[in-house]
């Protein structure tokens, strides 16, 4: 059972320190929810975990199964079993979902002998996951995220998650910009994929997605630090009372 460990992580964006010592450990099979007000560093944490070049780690460490990945480029982190479902998936015009998914699948599932999966293996896996998530076949001929509705973009992210089978998935506000029906579809998709082999970090503003995906733990990120951790009741308290009480508790001036 692998663990994703975030140890005293400090990170900067354009010279400004955003993460100020984040500590978190996620085991495969667990679902952690990360909540927090705007500007607390939630998305920064997501990008920093995947190694976005704009986000610089100044101290601390990120480990998967005890191995530090903090010096790895994003592709090597993906191959180490880390996945990020983007809040704003990037459009790549002219690249079909099919060719993109095949390239991603081949990169991540290339075996020790450097042998990528065959086209048939890929097609089988793709058909299975599309069926599981109720994704229409016509999706495959469309350009990556181009002209996708908010719901389609998020479903495409979940399809990638299903196909790439990471050990750990960070869902960065996957619920944002979705109406209730779309949210339900996406959340059900995640539930289908989640299991003993997947550790999930759900970053969200709202409690509503947690109705569909039950978190094992809930954490609050506040001014670049995790200031409270608890069970599902913590998310309910936040929903009811907001983040004001945390401010008093931590004495942080924002």
> Considering beta carbons, is residue 21 or 177 the nearer one to other proteins?
177
Q: How far apart are CA 21 and CA 136, in angstroms?
A: 43
From CA 10, how far away is CA 20, in angstroms rounded? Answer: 5
- Least gap, CB of 120 to other proteins (angstroms): 9
Residues found near other proteins in the complex (CB under 8 A): 50, 52-53, 73-75, 77-79, 83-84, 86, 89-95, 98-100, 103-104, 107-108, 119, 143-144, 160, 164
Q: How many helices (H) and strands (E) does the chain have?
A: 8, 12
Burial of 180 (C-beta count, 10 Å sphere; 0-12/13-18/19+): exposed
The residue among 160 and 207 lying less far from other proteins, judged by its C-beta, is 160
Q: How far is the CB of 27 from other proteins (least distance, A)?
A: 22
Nearer to other proteins, 166 or 224 (CB): 166
| Cα–Cα distance for residue pair 156/126, rounded to 1 Å | 12
Q: Tokens 């793709």 correspond to what residue?
A: 126
DSSP code of 117?
A: P
- Shortest separation between residue 153's beta carbon and other proteins, angstroms: 12
Q: CB 76 → other proteins: shortest distance, Å?
A: 9
Q: Which is nearer to other proteins, 48 or 227 (CB)?
A: 48
């Amino acid at each position: 059972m692998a663990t994703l460990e975030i140890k005293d992580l400090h990170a900067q964006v354009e010279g400004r320190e955003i993460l100020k010592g984040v500590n978190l450990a996620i085991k495969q099979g667990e679902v952690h929810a990360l909540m927090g007000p705007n500007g607390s560093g939630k998305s920064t944490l997501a990008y920093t975990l995947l190694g976005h070049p704009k986000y610089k780690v100044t101290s601390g460490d990120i480990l998967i199964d005890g191995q530090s990945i903090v010096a790895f480029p994003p592709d090597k982190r993906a191959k180490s079993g880390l996945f990020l479902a983007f809040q704003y998936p990037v459009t790549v015009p002219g690249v079909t979902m099919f060719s993109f998914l095949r390239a991603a699948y081949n990169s991540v599932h290339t075996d020790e002998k450097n042998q990528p999966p065959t086209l048939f293996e890929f097609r089988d896996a793709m058909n299975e996951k599309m069926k599981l998530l109720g994704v229409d076949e016509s999706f495959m001929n469309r350009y990556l995220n181009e002209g996708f509705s908010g719901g389609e973009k998020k479903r495409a992210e979940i399809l990638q998650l299903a196909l790439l089978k990471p050990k750990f998935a960070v869902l960065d506000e996957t619920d944002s910009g979705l109406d209730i029906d779309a949210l339900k579809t996406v959340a059900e998709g995640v539930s289908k994929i989640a299991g003993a082999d997947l550790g999930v970090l759900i970053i969200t503003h709202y409690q509503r997605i947690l109705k569909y995906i039950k978190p094992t733990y809930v954490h609050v990120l506040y001014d670049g630090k995790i200031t409270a951790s608890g069970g599902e009741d913590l998310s309910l308290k936040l929903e009811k009372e907001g983040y004001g009480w945390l401010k008093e508790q931590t004495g942080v001036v924002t």
